[in-house]
Amino acid sequence: MSLEAKYVFILGTVPFILLGAIHIIYTLMDIRAPRKLTPYDDSVRVSMQESTLALTKQTTMWRAWVGFNISHGIGVLFFGLIYLTLALSDFTLLSKITLLPYLAFAVSVSYFVLSVKYWFHIPAIGSGIGAACFLVSLFLV
């Protein structure tokens, strides 16, 4: 088992941990003082706060937006932390369960594609770095 593969794999988890944590923090800050993950045009946010979903009137578009952003951040953070924990605790086992490293690569590429198509350059760069690290690790194992 290559130590280089392990360290490169671990490095691949870092962008997801950081981006997930930052996403959660920014969203929580936006609950009190919207400045980060909020529409640039404040009237759009106000409209979101006043509009319910077509699916249900139990929530507003703004509350759904906040919930989606927090859950997205949790998912990205969890993805990074789970793979970091596996790599640190037993990289040999992680490598032996062949599907797991390939899933790490596939999920990171999915985040990269979503970032390029729907989001912006910071998550694209982070997920691209993570995907590249996971791919290099696959070749080093």
CA-wise closest residue to 84 among 103, 98, 104? 104
Q: Which structure tokens are listed for 47?
A: 């409209």
Handedness of CA 89, 90, 91, 96 (dihedral sign): negative
Question: In whole numbers, what is the pLDDT of the chain averaged over residues?
Answer: 97
- Phi, psi angle pair for 79, to nearest 5°: -55, -50
Average pLDDT value for residue range 23-31 = 97
Matching residue, tokens 């927090």 = 70
Amino acid residing at 20: G
Q: Is the pLDDT of residue 76 over 90?
A: yes
Average pLDDT value for residue range 64-92 = 97
Task: Give the 3-state secondary structure of residue 35.
Answer: coil
Q: Which structure tokens are listed for 22?
A: 């930052």
Percentage of residues of the chain with pLDDT beyond 70: 99
Q: Is the pLDDT of residue 1 over 80?
A: no
CA-wise closest residue to 92 among 100, 103, 82? 100
Cβ neighbour number for residue 86 with a 10 Å cutoff: 20
In the prediction, which pLDDT does 44 show?
97
Kindly indicate the confidence band of residue 141, based on its pLDDT and cuts at 50, 70 and 90: confident
Q: Is the pLDDT of residue 70 over 90?
A: yes
